[in-house]
Each structure stands twice: as structure tokens, then as C-alpha cells.
Structure 1
Amino acid sequence: MVVINSVSAGIITALVGFTSSFVVVLTGLRAVGASESQASSGLVALCIVVGASTLWLALRHRIPATTAWSTPGAALLTTAGASAMGFDEAIGAFILCAALLLLSGLWPALGKLTAAIPTPVAQAMLAGVLFPLCLKSISGLSASPAAVAPVVVIWLLGIIFLPMWAVPLAFVGAGIVIAVHLSRSGFSIDAAELLPTLEWTSPAFSVQAAIGIALPLYVVTMAAQNLPGVAVLRSYDYEPPWRDCLSSTALGSLTAAPFGASTINLAAISAALAAAPETNVPADKRWRNAVVSGLTYLLLAGAAAAVVALAGAAPTGLIAAVAGLALLGAFGGAVQGAWSDAALRLPAVLTFLVAASGITVAGIGSAFWALVTGVIMTMAANYSARVQSRRLRHGR
């Protein structure tokens, strides 16, 4: 029975992680210039590296540590696309981000520097990045009501009856809509497009992509994925090996980047699906849940190209709307974190507005300028608080 429970928990962990966010990955890769074949290659590479890194950590440390691609990071790419002149520069930014993640594992001071960015500012930047994407779930209803409305209804029913499966069910609904659309339009998919392939893209490096993509991607991956991932495992009394976790995922990201993959990291939300007592697996055997999850991701790599091909044949606005639904939970969490500290409410608001604006200054996207705004405003707020404190102490 324990074996069956482990297999079930591992498969669910992988399926929920994959179906809840692969559309966001595709949207982000396309936004930074990826062709359909490059986006397909990126998703295949991500599945392989997530599966391999999960297997490595679970088998080596005997804890249910799972990895995932950075869904918030993929969402960030949709606003950072203007920072890259082509997909080759985006690949260069992915490599730089992976190098920063690796350096954080080898040199803890860098990780501490990232943690020094006020949480409300980091969360406000993430919320601003996610906001336009979440709006697509609303605008999609107006643009393609016949295609999007059934998916929204399925998602809503899932929220009511099967909350954990709401987004995966929405993707199933989208698949049905796409199938109906293909049958009515007579559109056909080349069988070659259904086969998984890896396509090499030689990287190029630019200052704009380094500042506008690599740096915000690094901050989001650390603040919204790796640090929460550690917290989730610790909440279940597991002590994750920080250096090995960060180094393994960073090396995996470096390896996969030239094939179109962005970044991978410790899983956060989906981590609980493998590590929680609700799996009905003894605590000392839950690492097997992660092993099954890793193996499932390797199998999903074989289906990734077919998933991309079907997504490319979807009616206008459908995929963007589903991605918006998938990000609503992350957006809600980011908003809650952004407004958590009343003293930093104004810096958080301004950070959110700059990130959501989508502006590009000096060839650098809004995510970076949102961070700059938030840090400057936080320093101003802290200085003002110190001045007011001194005045009160001196009775002025």
C-alpha cells in the first residue's frame, strides 16, 4: 500500500506541476522571441532537467525534495521581452541567471544580499508582472467567448469541488476546445511536430538583457521559488541541503539554457504534494514520492512537443486566458505579500505600478525599473521613519 501511495503522490505532483504552468512557460518563451520549435525545445529541456534534478536530490538525500521550472520567472519574461533583441540574447540572460544561482549556492553572501531586498518590494514586482497576464483571463472572454467561457466554467467548478485540480481541469477543457476547433476548421498538425526534439540556440550577451531579464529573473527565482521551497520542506520537518539544492538546479539550468529553457529551482507549491503527511506515506519513505515525480517528468518530456503543437493550434486568446487562470493564485499570494507591511505600503504600490506598466527605458524592461523604484522608495521611507523617530525623542 505504501508503494501505491508513493506512486500516486509522485504522479500527481508531476502532473499538477506540469499542467498548472506549462502554458505560462510557452507564453514567456514566445515573448522573448522563441519560435514554435524553440519553445517546444525549451519545454522538453525543462521537463528533462526537472526530472533529472528531482531524482538526484531525492536519491542522494532521501528527502522528498522536488524541483520545478520557475513559473513566476516565465511570467516575468512576458514583460521583459523588450530587453532582448532576439531569442539568442534571452538565452544569454538565462545563462547569466543560472550562473548567479550557482554563485549563490557556492557563495552564501550573494543569497543573503538577495534576501535583503524587502519582501513587499519583491512581491510587488512579481504582482505587477503577473497582473497583465491575469487580465487575459478576463479579456479572453470578450475576445473569444465561445472558446474561453467553457474553460472558465470548468475552472470554476474545479475551484468549488476539486480545488487542487482546478487548473489542470481547465487545461483539459482547453484541450477539448482545441480538438473541436481543429475538427471544424480542418486544420491539421504535421506528425513531425509531435515528436520531442532539442534545438540548440547559440547564446548572445547584451547589457540590456543582463539587466532587464537575468537580474529580475534571478530575484524572482530566489524570492518566489527557492526560499519558499526550503520553507515548505522545513514545515514538514525536512532539512533541505541548501547548497546542493541550489547548485544542482543551477547546473541543470546552465545545461538546459542553450536548448531554450529558462530556469529551474526548488518546487514551492507543488512540493507539498510530495512531502505532506496527506500522501499516507511514512515520513522516512516520502523521498520515493519525489523519485516517482522525477520519473514522471522524464516521461512528460516525450509528450511536451505534442502539447506545444496543440497549444499553437488553439483559438485566439484561449491559451493566454488559461495562463491567466493558472496565475491567479500566484498573483493573490504576491499581492498579499506586497501589502503585508504598512510601513512599506507606498514603495510596494509604486513598485507594482512600474512593473505592471510594461515600460521600457534604455532598452530595459519594467521589472528591473520596478525593483529600482522599490529599493529607492524603501530607503526613503526608512530615512523618513528615522527622522520622525529622532524628532519624537527630542520632543519636536
Structure 2
Amino acid sequence: MELSFILPKADPEFLVDQLELIGLNNLDERTVDREKMEASLADVANVKWVEGEVASRLMPYLPEEVERSAGHAESTAVLAEKQAKVVAGEKVVDRLRAVGLDDRLAMFQGDNLYGEDVGERVWAYAQVAASLAEDMDFDIVHAHDWMTFVAGMEIKKRTGKPLVLHVHSLNYDRGGPDSRGWIFDIEKNAMEAADLIIPVSRYTGTICTGHYGIDPRKVHFVHNGADPVDTFRSASPFKDGLVLFLGRLTGQKGPRYFLEIAARVLEKNPGVYFVMAGTGEKMRELIEYGAYRDVGDRLHFTGFLNKEKVNKLLSMTDVYCMPSVSEPFGLSAIEAAQYGIPAVISKQSGVAEVMTHARKADFWDVNLMADHITELLTDPKAREEAIQHSLADQKNCTWEAASDRIIELYRDQLGIQN
């Protein structure tokens, strides 16, 4: 298929066959039609946007309610008051028009892609992308997650082309079932406007239909794939086993449950070592809680690791544990399986649909997860069977299979022939 991929930021020297890569950072006023740029934007009557004056630094995949100001923490009451200051989307548009086209394009020139007001960047991206799309020849609009959903809605509105939304993560996953706000509104409005919705798992699809009230007839899941890797094994200094948690240290990923699981495993096998690889707003709280649960001497926080160091860590891991509260897919469990690592994962995850033989439990059932880990560390036969099953399961998760299924959906659901 021929693709035109519009990104906020792209390397102009990056070339791929059949791919037109457009980075907003490479545009200037001469390449954008000013009149089209100022055209009316998508209907946002039900969308509220956080004011730019909010002190917290909003990032696209972190919970809205988390305070991220560097160097200080505000009281809950002050933060709630600031987050209560919201405005309709039209006011954001007016503010963007007031700064001028050059200033809007300049938003995508620096290193800080999302800035202090991610909502404003999302809206500016939508304006530019929609104006560019009007002069392009294409059959389908395909948008990934809420940061591009506004652009997708506007392009559909201007061109009449069918809109496909690829759902990798939802506000529900990041903030919990009671979380509401402007991102939730964008997600719901976009899914209602879409012609086809592709969540990354059946689990996420049920959230789209149940929590967001979307017509199930246009929701069709496609599991993620995994890139093949050259795996290797390193000698581990931990004779009783190493158990790994890999991911953002945020409530969605269940890191506190991992500490509870560790405490229960150590009651039966005090020689096991635990590693939490990743960073996030919960790190300090987790370090303190680990000390409180008296697991600090058998637990290591690595902070952020690059891919090379992650692979090194995987090469010496004995059990992978993913106690996510809500995990749309969970690609890290597939990556662990590629290394022949048996996994203990939560039932509230998309990857549980693919890793059919992995040990599973509800995220809150720390006793069962601890029992699974103990079995995999102490029963050689059970461990070898789990490894072989995991290796077989992960072979079915390929990007080729995912892309074939997406093209099939284009044809069957939208009537598009490639």
C-alpha cells in the first residue's frame, strides 16, 4: 500500500519505499495554504481543554490528574482548582489563530515536542494536517490514538474519506474507569465519528464498546506484532532466580502489586531477586513502599534503560511479571517470551489473549501471582513446559499478520480494494 504519514516531527532524510513522510517541523508558511489552514475545525462542542496556565506538564500517555511540575508538589486543592479552569475547543482555536501561522509551525521545530500545553499542540497539528490533506490523493484516513484523533476527524470532515482509528491506549487505561476529562471526550467523539475502530486487543475493544458506548459493529481488534530479535543468555548472579517488572512506574502498570507479589514470594524463597526497570511518577512512592514491605534488600530500581540494557536484563531474567491494572496489549510479555522467559501476567491485558499458556491471574490477586512465580522458579518441569509454550505463542505475533488483517478490514468493512 502507498502511505502518506504526517508526523509532528520527522527526519527529512529518512526514506522508505511507498512511504511519503511529512514532518511538520520541515514545513514553512509557503508549503501550507493559509486559507485552508484557517478553515473551520471539527465540531468540539463536547470537548473541554485544560487551560495553558495549568502548572502540571501534560504528557500524552500519562494520567491527566498527575501533577508533573518539576521541583515542587502543589496541594490537592490547588491542583484541582487549576484543573477546573477549562475552556471550549473554540477558544483554543482562537488563541492559535491569534499567534499566526509561522508561530504555529514553529511549535514543531524544537526538541520539546509536546510543550507545556499538549492540547494546544494537538490542535495545531490537526490544523496543519487537515490543510495538507485537502491537496492529497488518498482513500483512507488512519489515525493512531487521541493525539491525532482531532486531525482525523477534521480530515474526514473536509474530504469525506472514511476514518479509521487505531486504539493503542485509552484514557480508561491510564486514569481508571472513573476518569473523565478532555482526553476522554476526544476519544469518545472520535470513535463515534469513525467508520472503523481497530483496538490492539479484544480486551480494549470491550472497553470501547462498554465504557465509551461505541457501536460494536465497527470495532474489530488486531493484535500487535513483535520484531524478531537475536536473543542470548547471560549468566545470572542470582542463584534462586530473577523476577523482572518492565514498564512505566505508573498506576496503570500495577507496580505496587508487584511489590506485594515480591513480599509473598520472599516469604517462601528469600533468595529470589526482583528488578523494576523503568521510570515514572510512582518511583519515589514505590521505593518507600518497598522499604515498608521489607523487600528493599532484594529489590533494585534501574530507572530508564535503553534497548541494549533491556536486552541484557532480559538475558538473565528467570520470570517476567506483568501485573497491569489495565493493559491494552502488553508487548513486553512477547519480548520476554522471545528470550524464553515464562510470564505471569494479569488477565486485564490484551497479551493474555495471545499468550494462551502463560500463567494468569487478576491484577489484584497477588497471592496467586506469587504462587505462579514460585512454581516457575522451583519446578523445573513446569518451567520448561511454560518456556516452550511461550516460544510457540509468540511466533504468532508478527507485524505481517497484523498488517494483513488491517488490509482485510479495509476491504471488508470499508469496501476499499488495494
> If the length of structure 2 is used for normalisation, what is the TM-score?
0.21
Task: Give the number of the structure whose residues are more often helix, by fraction.
Answer: 1
Task: Give the number of the structure whose residues are more often strand, by fraction.
Answer: 2
> For the pair shown, which has the larger CA radius of gyration, 1 or 2?
2
> If the length of structure 1 is used for normalisation, what is the TM-score?
0.22
Q: Larger relative CO (CA 8 A, sep 6+): 1 or 2?
A: 1
